Amino acid sequence: MAQIIDGKVISQQIKDELKEKVAALKNEGKEVCLAVIQVGNDPASTVYVGNKKKACEYIGIKSLAYEIPEETTEEELLGIIDKLNKDDTVHGILVQLPVPKHINEENIINAISPTKDVDGFHPASVGALSIGQKGFVSCTPAGVIQLLKRSGIEISGKECVVIGRSNIVGKPMSMLLLRENGTVTICHSRTKDLKEVCKRADILVVAIGKPRMIDASYVKEGATVIDVGIHRDENNKLCGDVDYASVEPIAGAITPVPGGVGPMTIAMLMNNCVEAGMN
Ligand code: NDP
């Protein structure tokens, strides 16, 4: 039986620790503030933005909501970001992605000041991570590291295999595991013998975006399996990139979906906001 890594419990611990930090900052007269910009009203984005606001409320972070129309031009959006960059009472700025097609996402990410880049997507943040400097780290992979550390799973010296090389998950995940002294292999759609590579892993992080693709035949007995994927299956049930029923009996530790990596992303966003507020 695998150790179940409970993201709900761990994210709650992190949020409670942050709540105390925010209260201490308030006592010093400092109010942490996150500005969240949503362009248009994509239903999934509305849910994500709503959850972020709720987490801010719980922790005691002030949240400023900019819900602006779909037709907003790139120039107008850049104008809002510029104003927020210059506002000393705002510590974090987050533009909910994706933005409408007429807006260039890269220009938006690049416009946010790296000191307020709580999503960790700015090239300066990504660069800082890769050369070991201080900077904000993308929230989902940062959450995975917390799950491992707080579950007592050693990373140093371990064979770590990451499946996926996206800018928001796979690449920063690999850099973070390397920073923790793991021996890291990155797999992607052109990887040959994926199964054989995965079977080397003491820690296997799966971020492919393919429902239940990774079954027990990819996993070494006793390995820690972290499932970043999130999907709805044909029965409208949430599932991950890992076939949990097949992998759980042989894994040493595993994250469920839901209740594994998912809740960590917002907790780490809140952590980045508090850090921004302390700077
Ligand atoms: P992307 O689609 O951006 O990246 C998927 C990666 O998987 C790519 O690097 C791709 O390779 C690789 N890949 C695809 N098919 C295969 C295959 N057959 N064999 C090996 N590698 C393959 O996804 P994201 O990184 O954005 O997200 C991954 C998953 O995590 C999704 O399910 C997403 O919903 C979920 N997610 C969950 C979050 C959370 O908070 N829990 C946050 C963010 C994402 P290549 O580069 O060669 O195309």
Closest alpha carbon to 81 in 39, 19, 31? 39
Q: Ligand 1 atom 5: the closest Cα is on which residue?
A: 208
Among 8, 215, 228, the mutation site with the greatest number of ligand 1 atoms within 8 A of its Cβ is 228
User: Looking at 38, 116, 119, 146, which residue is catalytic?
Assistant: 119
| Tokens at 108, concatenated | 């938006």
The domains located in the chain, with CATH, are 29-114 (3.40.50.10860), 139-262 (3.40.50.720)
Annotation says 243 is catalytic: no
- Which pLDDT belongs to residue 186? 98
Annotation says 119 is catalytic: yes
- Which pLDDT belongs to residue 1? 84
Q: Which SS3 state, helix, strand or coil, does residue 132 take?
A: coil
Q: Which amino acid is at 47?
A: V
Chain-centroid distance of CA 154 in Å reads: 20
CB of residue 189 inside a 6 A radius of ligand 1: yes
Share of the chain above pLDDT 90, in %: 99
Query: What is the pTM (predicted TM-score) of this model?
Result: 0.98
Q: How far apart are CA 53 and CA 49, in angstroms?
A: 6
The pLDDT of residue 207 is above 90: yes
- Which pLDDT belongs to residue 173? 98
Q: How confident is the model at residue 231 (pLDDT cuts 50, 70, 90)?
A: very high
- Side by side, which strands form the sheet with 253-254? 3-4, 253-254, 224-227, 203-206, 159-163, 183-187
Q: What is the pLDDT of residues 119-166, one digit of tens each?
A: 999 999 999 999 999 999 999 999 999 999 999 999 999 999 999 999
Annotation says 96 is catalytic: yes
> How is residue 216 annotated by DSSP?
G
**Contact indicator for 100, 40 with CB cutoff of 8 Å:** yes
Among 169, 191, 264, the mutation site with the greatest number of ligand 1 atoms within 8 A of its Cβ is 169
Mean pLDDT of 274-278: 96
Atom of ligand 1 nearest to the CA of 262: 41
CB of residue 140 inside a 6 A radius of ligand 1: yes
Q: How far apart are CA 113 and CA 201, in angstroms?
A: 37
Phi, psi of 205, deg, nearest 5? -110, 125
Q: What is the Å distance from ligand 1's center to 190 Cα? A: 13
